[in-house]
């Protein structure tokens, strides 16, 4: 039961972070550059890969898809932790993927993001790993 709660909490934290990020992507100015000229430039320049978009549109799309990935992780692992406990904890594959994903997010947060997402994702990883250890020990 404790293992399920810990992994569910882990999933819930990522779900909340992803939902907040998706909200910030489309509402408010939290993900806008502080320099208005930078946004103007991003709206007028295409990436090398294609002239069918702009750097600004790509920025918004990357942020939205990043959010959706976090939401998907939270929904799937939350569901498994609550409704499919034996499937989750009986699958080395699912547990490894979960730990690898959260570990990768921690590394990205340390290198490229800022303190709030790093703290939330780190707590999520600790809960997930602790849940797995509680189950197996």
For 92-119, write each residue's pLDDT tens digit: 999 999 999 999 999 999 999 999 999 9
From its phi and psi, is residue 67 left (phi > 0), alpha (psi between -120 and 50) or beta? alpha
Share of the chain above pLDDT 90, in %: 100
**Given CA atoms 23, 69, 48, 53 in this order, what sign does their dihedral have?**
negative
Quote the mean pLDDT of the chain.
97
Which pTM value belongs to this model?
Answer: 0.95
pLDDT of residue 54: 98
């Amino acid at each position: 039961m404790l293992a399920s709660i810990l992994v569910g909490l882990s999933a819930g934290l990522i779900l909340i972070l992803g939902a907040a990020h998706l909200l910030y992507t489309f509402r408010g100015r939290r993900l806008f550059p502080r320099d208005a000229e930078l946004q103007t430039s991003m709206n007028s320049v295409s990436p090398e890969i294609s002239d069918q978009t702009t750097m600004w549109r790509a920025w918004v799309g990357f942020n939205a898809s990043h959010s959706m990935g976090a939401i998907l992780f939270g929904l799937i692992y939350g569901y498994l932790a609550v409704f499919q406990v034996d499937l989750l904890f009986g699958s080395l594959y699912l547990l490894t993927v979960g730990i690898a994903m959260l570990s990768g997010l921690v590394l990205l947060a340390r290198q490229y993001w800022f303190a709030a997402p790093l703290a939330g994702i780190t707590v999520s990883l600790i809960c997930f790993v602790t849940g797995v250890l509680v189950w197996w020990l």
